[in-house]
Structure 1
Amino acid sequence: MDYDLLVDAIYRAGADPQEWSYVLRLLTGAFNGVCAALHLGDAASDFSFGATYELDPEASEAYAKHFFAINPLNSPLTRVPAGKAIGDNELVPRETYRASEFYNDYSLRYRLNGSVTGILDSRNGHVSCIGIVTATGTDPHTAEEVSAFQRLMPHLRRAIELNRKFATAKANAEASLGTLDQLDFGVVLLGENGIVLRANAIAAAMANSAYGIRLVQGRLKIADAGAQNRLDYLVGCAVNGIGPRGGPLLIPRASGKPIFARILPYTGVSYDGVPAVQAIIYLRDPEASPTPAVDHIAMAHGLTPAESRVLRALLNDSDVRSIAENFGVSVATVRNQIARIMEKTGTAKQTELMRLLFSAHLPLMEP
Structure 2
Amino acid sequence: MSEQHEFAQRMSDLIGAIYDCVLMPEKWGGVIDAIRAEFNFHNAILSVTAHEGIHLLGALVGVDSYWSARMLNYGSAVTDAWGGIEKLTEYPLEEPVVQSRAMPGYDLEGNRYFVEWVRPQGITDAVNISLEHNTTTLSNFTLGRHGSAGPITDGEIEGLRMLAPHIRRAVAISQVLELKTIEISTFASTLDTFNSAIVLVDEDAICVHTNAVATAMLNAKDPLTLNDGRLALPRQAATAALKEAVKSAATGPLTSPPRRSGIPATRRDGTPMILHVMPLHRDILQNAVAAIFVSPSVASPQMPADALALLYGLTPAETRVFEMIVAGQTQRGIAVKLGLAASTIKTHLLRVFEKTGCKRQTDLVRLAASLSIPL
Q: TM-score, normalised by structure 1?
A: 0.49
Of structures 1 and 2, the one with the larger relative CO (CA 8 A, separation 6+) is 2
Structure with greater Cα Rg: 1
Q: TM-score, normalised by structure 2?
A: 0.48
